[in-house]
Each structure stands twice: as structure tokens, then as C-alpha cells.
A and B are shown apart, each in its own frame.
Chain A
Amino acid sequence: MTAVLTLEDVHRIYPGSPPVKALVGVDLTVEAGQMVAVVGPSGSGKSTLLNIMGTLDRPTEGRLLIEGTDTSKLSDRRLSGLRSKRLGFVFQSFHLIETLTALDNVATGLLYRGTSGRQRRAMAQAALEKVGLGDRLHTRPTKLSGGQRQRVAIARAIVAEPSLILADEPTGNLDTATGDGIVALLEQLNADGATIVVITHDPDLAARLPRQIEVRDGAIRTRAGEHRALENEHRTVEGGADR
């Protein structure tokens, strides 16, 4: 199997007095087609981990490989290009542009790839249909429910058919029932072949996903006892868990 994402001994230290050690030696591999929950309480370092996996932040030490490409030496332009082609983001607060219709919001996901406007819209429509919003193409986010907004955001994340989808607390702003719908949608996308990492502080949500990674004090430890059979096939390396 191809590793979509590999973290090698990643440290992230925020300067200050005293310096904040957000990540201390994380090793992690995500294979193509996996659906991974990164779970941990707030302050555990899971947001930092997400930012580093999304190349929005750079490790202080260690390497991040996306499909074998070492990102540590990439220029801003190449790194941005890598994000535009290989990564899709879903945020807790949706981050939709309110003056744009659902279709245009989703099309924004292709904006920085140099795709033509016509093609962007065609692909955006297909993505919206995939998330069940084919009848809301020209609705603005303000006229949509929370769940619908998150579906638009998910459509935007998948429109470019990225290698990896990173979802940061995708159900954090939603009620339980709506959240379940979103998780079901993500599961569906995973079943269709998408590789997805979900960051959450919610153990119930994490438990629903085939593989869980628990972050504590800036390091990873696998959750014993809850692994499915599939999980054992994957190499999940612990890094400095007891530091």
C-alpha cells in the first residue's frame, strides 16, 4: 500500500518563555483508503498535528511526506500547490464565503489549480450532488442549515479529488443527529476510496472510525483494546508517549 502521509519524528515547539512543546516526536503513517480518527482532549496537540499534516504549519524538527514528497524543503508556492492538488480541508466552522452560492463556494476548491471557470462549476456541481445538495446549487450559505453548510464544505474538500481529506472537528458545531449524518457522509466517501483523517475530541465519534490515534501531551499512543482486525495490519508507530 502507498503511504499517503508519513510523519517522521515530528516536533513542533512554539517559541516563547517557556517554549511550548506542542508535538514531541510524532511518527505516523496514513495509507491510501484509510479513515483515521485523531482523538485527544483540547491542548493535547491534535490541532497542531492537523496543521502540520495539512502543511499549514511546519515541523520544528522531523519530516512530513505527502505521497512520498518531502514537504520540508518546498517553497511556499510548491507547498500551496501541493495543498491545492492533494489535500482537502473540512473545518469546524465551515469557512464558507457568505456572498457566494453553494456552487461557487465549492468551485473555490479548484480556484488555485488554474482550472477554468466552466470546468470548476461542472466539477462543483458533481461534488454537491455527491454530498446530497444537488438541489441547493444556487443557495447562499446563510440560507442553509448547519449540516448543509458542512456538506457544502465537504463538497469543496473533495471537488479536487485530493489524496487526503483532513477534517477538523467536522461535527463540532452540529447537533448529534446532524453530526451523525456528516460522519455517515464521510464514511460513504471513504467507502468510495477517499483517505480521510478526522480530528476530534469526541471519543464516541472516534470509536465509530476504523482506526484511532490518540494524542496526549504532544505524542501519540494507540488505543489498546479497541482496534479492529484491519487496524493491526497498519503500522502505527508510537513516539515518545511517556515523555
Chain B
Amino acid sequence: MSDRSKLRGRDVVSTSVVGLRSRRGRTLLTALGIAIGIASMVAVVGISSSSKAALLAQLDTLGTNLLQVEAASGGLSIEPLPIDAEPMIRRIDTVEAASAVIDTEIEVRRNAHDDTVVGIGTLGATPEFFETLKATVVVGRPLDDGLQSLPVAVLGDVAAIRLGISDLAGGPTISLGGQDFVVVGILDELPLNPDLSRKVIIGDEAAVALFGIAPNPTSIYVRITPEEMTDTRPLLAPTANPARPAKVEVSRPSDLLEARAEVDQNLQNLLLALGGVALLVGGVGIANVMVISVLERRGEIGLRRALGATRGHIRSQFVLEAALLSGLGGVLGILLGSAITIIYARRQSWVVDLPPEALLSGIGAAVVIGMLAGFYPAAKAARLDPALAVSGGTG
């Protein structure tokens, strides 16, 4: 007859479950520590990833194929772009649309007698401006060829608010550099080019003709066939200013938006670390409770030893109990963290994005912490002298 103890795998699990079930209140409270840690980590990951998903979805609709060509800043003098830079760029096959704009210093007032509205500038733009930037008006109309040379203006959304104009009822006018301009439209928000929100846009011809502004463009916005981005981008500087390509700067406005999605990373790491601390505290809590539990359950441990449990069986029972306890906390934490993420994302009208790997690693982390927390108490339980344990220590 073979005299080895045997414990079936599923019986190891059910034995541990019995241990937890017999102390429901304590089990829940102990699991709560882990749940809070996991919940905060899941929420941090879920919220930031939902926010990023929302941002990327926005980028997707805005397109990442818009480039901005500018005279390079830096150095003592800024070399302005040549007047024919925009027509030259437009000649490149892969350019879908391009628009030159002239940043002017024309002062903006509500009316001729009012003070200058600080922080709002005037921009002279070619008619392709709206198409190139996919800029739409919330009210009124964009500028077109017919309006180019007339004293009419389209307001950026912020500029409109600052000028106190919210609709076009009664044909509102503003005063630009002492001349009255009729407002014909108000722009929608431009997430890729937030600087344009603070501009009053007039025709480039009007800017040159009515204010004597130099016709050199300050910036050229270029929309490129998406697949040809990498090939086309290097062509822009030499095309815009063949004599001095180094004096031209090409940037992609969507990069800024994308960078904003990444900036949160530091904060996210900090919050994750805080969640990790909560998790560690939860783990210590589990270790504490398990140590107490082992002391209280000496009789049970002695009994199991008498029934044939080896030290290894006792150890695995308690390690597994701790792991299950912590895993339960992990599940609770994931539910809680997901709920927080969903509620928060809904409020921001974001798409909810809960990365499955974050959820899985949440459970995994909980189980690992639980096992680590269980090792010491389990070793204590396994080392108990069975003779003392069955008799309750009275020897």
C-alpha cells in the first residue's frame, strides 16, 4: 500500500474557498483594500486611454495631412516668404489644397470709438483658406472670390465672443484699423489650429488694398494627399523659397494635438504609482489578516494534519486562500474602475476605451500580490506543530 498523501487540484481550490466563505465579512473587507488599488489603476488607465482614443478619433476626422509652411523664426531677421510661394506649392501634384495667409497688425475694435480688443488679430487669407483648413462657419458664409477685396470679415469663434457677436442679425460691423467691416460669418472651432480662433479673417486682397500690407504670406497652409505625406513634405521648403529653403519652416499642426495626448503620460504614471501604493497596502492588509486567521484556525490546521494533510497541502491552502482573496479584490476593483471610467467618459462624451490588457494585468497583479502576501502566513500555518494544534495548544 502506498502511503502518500494526495490532494486533488480541484480539492485544493474548494478547500481554500471554504476557508474564505466561512468568514464572509472579513473576506470582503480585506478584499476591499486590493479592490481600491486595482480600481484606481484601472480608472487611471481607462480614463487616460479613453481620453486619448477621443483625441485620436478627433484627429482622424480632422486629418493629419495638413502642413503649415512658415518663414523660419530665429536669427535676427525673419526672411519673409516670396509672394509666389503659394502658387508654386500648389503646382506640386500631391498638394490637394493650399492657402496663403498674411498675419497683420491691424487693430480690431467693436466700433470706431471703442478701445482695441486685446489679443485678437487680423488675418488676410486667400479664398482657399476654408477648404484647406476644413474650416466651417457656424453662422453666415465663408469668404470667396467675390468677397476677397471687400471690407467683409469672418470671425474666429473666440474672436466672435470677444467682440460680442453671436449671430448676424442686423448685419453687425466691426472696426479694423479704423475702417468698418461687415461680419459675414463666424467660424466653428478649429482644434488643429487653435490660434485661428482668435483671428478676424479678411480677404488677402482687401488686406493689401485697404491697409497697404506687404503681400508676402506669413504662413501657407497645405493639404496633401495622405499617402504622399512623407514624400511631399521635404519638397515644400525648397518650393516655397527656392533661394533660401533653410529660411522656411514646415510643421504639422496635428503633431501638437498628438503631443497633448502624450503629455498626460507623466501624470498617468504618478497616478498609477499611487494606485500601486494602495495595492501594496492592500497586500499588507491581506498578510495581516491571514496571520490572524492562521492563529485562529490552529484547530482546523491540526485537524487537517491529523486527516493526512502534508505541510505542503496546508501551505498551498493558505497561499491559495490569500490569492483568491486578493483575486476577488481584483475583480471588484476592475468592476469599480470600469464603472468609474465609463461614467467619466460618458460625461466627457468620449468613446469608452478600457484596454483588456489593463483589466487582465489588474487581476494578475492582484493574484500575485495575494500570493506574496500569503507566503508568510502559509509558512507559519505549515510549520505549526500538529500535536499542539489539535489540542488547542494546551499540550
Binding site for B on A (CB under 8 A): 47-48, 51, 54, 56-57, 69, 74, 76-78, 80-87, 89, 91, 93, 95, 97-100, 108-109, 111-114, 116-117, 156, 168
Contacts and interface: CB of A to CB of B under 8 A. Distances in A.
B22 interface: yes
Q: Binding site of A, secondary structure by majority: helix, strand, loop or mixed?
A: mixed
A80 B313 CA distance: 10
B37 interface: no
- Interface-centre pick from B3, B10, B306, B311 (highest chain A CB count, 10 A): B306
A80 B390 contact: no
Contact of B4 (A78, A89, A116, A117): A78
B306 A81 contact: no
B308 A95 contact: no
Interface of B: 1-8, 10-11, 15, 18, 21-22, 299-300, 302-313, 385-387, 390-392, 395
Contacts of A82: 3, 308
B307 A112 contact: yes
B8 A76 contact: no
Given A80-B309, A100-B18, A112-B313, A93 B299 contact: yes
B303 A91 contact: yes
A111 B307 contact: yes
A111 B33 CA distance: 33
Given A111-B7, A112-B304, A113-B6, 7 more contacts: A80-B310, A81-B3, A81-B5, A93-B392, A95-B299, A111-B308, A113-B5
Contacts of A108: 304, 307
27 contacts: A51-B390, A57-B386, A76-B310, A80-B308, A80-B309, A81-B4, A82-B3, A83-B5, A84-B5, A85-B1, A86-B3, A89-B306, A89-B390, A91-B303, A98-B22, A100-B18, A111-B307, A111-B309, A112-B5, A112-B304, A112-B308, A112-B310, A112-B313, A114-B6, A114-B8, A156-B307, A168-B391
Given A47-B395, A97-B22, A56 B5 contact: no
A168 B311 CA distance: 23
A128 B395 CA distance: 30
A23 to B, nearest CB: 13
A43 B203 CA distance: 110
Nearest to B14: A117
A80 B22 contact: no
A77 B4 contact: yes
B306 A54 contact: yes
B300 A85 contact: no
Contacts of B4: 77-78, 81
A80 B385 contact: no
B18 A99 contact: yes
A91 B390 contact: yes
Contacts of B311: 76, 80
A112 B8 CA distance: 8
Contacts of B18: 97, 99-100
- Interface-centre pick from A69, A108, A112, A116 (highest chain B CB count, 10 A): A112
Contact of A112 (B7, B390, B391): B7
A108 to B, nearest CB: 6
Contacts of A116: 8
Contact of A80 (B1, B5, B387, B392): B5
Nearest to B309: A112
- Interface-centre pick from A54, A57, A108, A111 (highest chain B CB count, 10 A): A111
A96 to B, nearest CB: 9
Contact of B11 (A48, A69, A111, A168): A111
Given A84-B308, A112-B308, A112-B309, A95 B8 contact: no
A116 B11 CA distance: 9
A81 B305 CA distance: 10
Contact of A89 (B15, B307, B312): B307
Top-9 shortest CB links A-B? A84-B308, A114-B6, A112-B308, A99-B22, A51-B387, A57-B387, A81-B3, A56-B387, A95-B303
A45 B8 CA distance: 37
Contacts of A93: 299, 392
